[in-house]
Amino acid sequence: MKERESPAVVHTDSIEWVNVGEGIRRQVLAYDPGLMIVRVDFKSGSVGAIHHHTHRQATYVARGSFEATIAGKTVTLKEGDSFFAAEDVPHGVVALENGTLIDTFTPAREDFVGSH
Amino acid sequence: MKERESPAVVHTDSIEWVNVGEGIRRQVLAYDPGLMIVRVDFKSGSVGAIHHHTHRQATYVARGSFEATIAGKTVTLKEGDSFFAAEDVPHGVVALENGTLIDTFTPAREDFVGSH
């Protein structure tokens, strides 16, 4: 079991990447129990399948472009765009090119840090 | 008074930038009362002065590099790095080159959306 909060400063070079699907890898960045930032890299064409969870999520497109589906509505997002998924709202993405999403959650995704 | 939550999808081209200091501008991205993402652009050399607030903050370096001071400790952060500032922890940055920070807050910074 990892600590329930990150150090105050998290250098990307010092933390692990976790493969979470075909062409998708994730780094858990700064967090405490109430707030977590997660960086997710996608190779072009990779699919973050539609899913939902009780955590509220706000996501920022840091690089690339994505087709995102939130609550059944599909939009194209480019760098600088963002979306919000409230509790239990289904959401998913398809990477239209290589790209990076910054996913933020409240509360933290304890399931991302408790099992490895 | 703006709404207390953003649309589910926020396109960067559709929302305003607010100048918040010499060489610093901010866009409020996706949010609800419990979670908010804010994009902050800095010109090289600009200073986000040390400050604190009751909101918990996690920040991601999306572009550029910064000298960040959190709770009196100063570090250099580059793209992909992040930091966490718990409630009332003093924090500030100096942009070492043109750059962008993604600031995330819980609860939302109502003061960023209530007054304009």
Contact call for B60 and A102, based on CB within 8 A:
yes
Q: How many CB pairs under 8 A join A and B?
A: 142
CA nearest neighbour of B108 among B61, B49, B71, B54:
B54
Contact A91, A38 (CB under 8 A): no
Q: Where are the domains of chain B?
A: 1-8+51-116
**Chain B residues whose beta carbon lies within 8 Å of the beta carbon of residue A25:** none
Element (H, E) at A110: helix A110-113
Nearest to A83 among B10, B59, B85 (CB): B10
pLDDT profile of chain B (116 residues), mean per 10 = 83 95 96 97 97 97 98 97 97 98 97 74
Nearest to B8 among A70, A102, A106 (CB): A70
Contact A90, A25 (CB under 8 A): no
| Alpha-carbon distance B60 to nearest alpha carbon in chain A (angstroms) | 8
C-beta atoms surrounding A48 within 10 Å:
22
B1-8+51-116: which CATH topology? Jelly Rolls (2.60.120)
Query: pLDDT at residue A37 above 50?
Result: yes
Computed on alpha carbons and rounded to an integer, the radius of gyration of chain B in Å comes to 14
Superfamily (CATH H level) for A12-113: Jelly Rolls (2.60.120.10)
Chain A contact present for B87, CB below 8 A? no
Distance CA B39, CA A80 (A): 8
The per-residue pLDDT for A2 is: 61
Q: What are phi and psi of A103, to 5 degrees?
A: -95, 130
Q: What is the pTM of this model?
A: 0.95
The per-residue pLDDT for B114 is: 74
Chain B contact present for A15, CB below 8 A? no
Distance CA B60, CA A102 (A): 8
List of E strands, chain A: 9-10, 18-21, 24-32, 35-42, 47-51, 56-63, 65-70, 73-78, 82-85, 91-95, 99-106
Chain A contact present for B38, CB below 8 A? no
Distance CA B12, CA B28 (A): 9
Nearest to A35 among B12, B30, B106 (CB): B106
Most A-contacting residue of B52, B74, B106 (CB-CB within 10 A), to test interface: B106
- What residues have CB less than 8 Å from A84, skipping those under 6 apart? A56, A57, A58, A59, A70, B5, B6, B7, B8, B9, B10, B30, B31, B32, B35
Instruction: Given the cut 0.90, state whether the ipTM is greater than it.
Output: yes
Distance CA B100, CA B5 (A): 23
